[in-house]
């Protein structure tokens, strides 16, 4: 990748700014990582950058359904960062058990490389936010994960089953993911159950 053009300004730490620019330009690659699900209008597959932006917006829109005291700014930060590792690791289909076996190893290696492009203090903070999201041990991480799980369900419902139909996903498989949504938000979890029940009635989910 071409190095960022040098910047000359009084009072600027040029080494720090260069590291930040390098990270910023590297994350442009997220726009090239295609996810399995389609846009809501069914016109094409969604990319990771679009997905991350839309989730950050959802965190603001659905903030009232987060547990009391949840720091929504922190949730938004997590959602903006959570899929950056897929620049190296690629998108892992949530219903592909075989591909999921190596997911954590691939994503941790990606985190080691990509977050380290930042200055040390920012690298530590962004890596810690990514680890927090993955661990789902805080209200913020659980709410962020709930939104991340709900988004593809909404896309699949609006595209007449979408990836559920293409990959023969069952009602039981989808309901298993609702547990994660309910852990982060009781209201969004209840909505997800109703959405899946309706999807099942419409024939969007496989039997079994």
**Cα(7)–Cα(116) distance, rounded to whole angstroms?**
21
* All domains in the chain, ordered by first residue: 15-201 (1.10.3210.10)
Residue pLDDT, tens place only, 26-85 = 999 999 999 999 999 999 999 999 999 999 999 999 999 999 999 999 999 999 999 999
Q: What is the mean pLDDT of the chain?
A: 94
Cα–Cα distance, 53 to 137 (Å, whole number):
23
pLDDT in tens, 124-158: 999 999 999 999 999 999 999 999 999 999 999 99
Give the span between the Cα atoms of 79 and 57, in whole angstroms.
Answer: 9
Report d(CA 109, CA 208) in Å as an integer.
36
């Amino acid at each position: 990748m071409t190095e960022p053009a040098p910047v000359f300004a009084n009072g600027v730490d040029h080494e720090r700014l260069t590291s930040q620019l390098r990270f910023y330009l590297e994350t442009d690659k997220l726009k090239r990582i295609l996810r399995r699900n389609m846009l809501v209008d069914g016109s094409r597959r969604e990319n990771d950058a679009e997905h991350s932006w839309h989730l950050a917006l959802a965190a603001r829109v659905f903030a009232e359904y987060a547990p009391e005291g949840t720091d929504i700014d922190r949730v938004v930060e997590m959602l903006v960062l959570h899929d950056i590792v897929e620049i190296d690791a690629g998108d892992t289909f949530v219903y592909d058990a075989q591909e999921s076996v190596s997911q954590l190893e691939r994503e941790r290696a990606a985190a080691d490389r990509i977050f380290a492009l930042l200055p040390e203090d920012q690298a530590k903070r962004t890596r810690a936010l990514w680890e927090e999201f993955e661990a789902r041990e805080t209200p913020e991480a659980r709410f962020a994960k709930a939104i991340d799980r709900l988004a593809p369900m909404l896309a699949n419902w609006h595209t007449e089953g979408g990836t559920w139909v293409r990959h023969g996903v069952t009602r039981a498989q989808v309901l298993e993911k609702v547990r994660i949504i309910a852990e982060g938000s009781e209201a969004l979890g209840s909505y997800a159950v109703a959405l899946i029940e309706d999807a099942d009635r419409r024939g969007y989910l496989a039997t079994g």
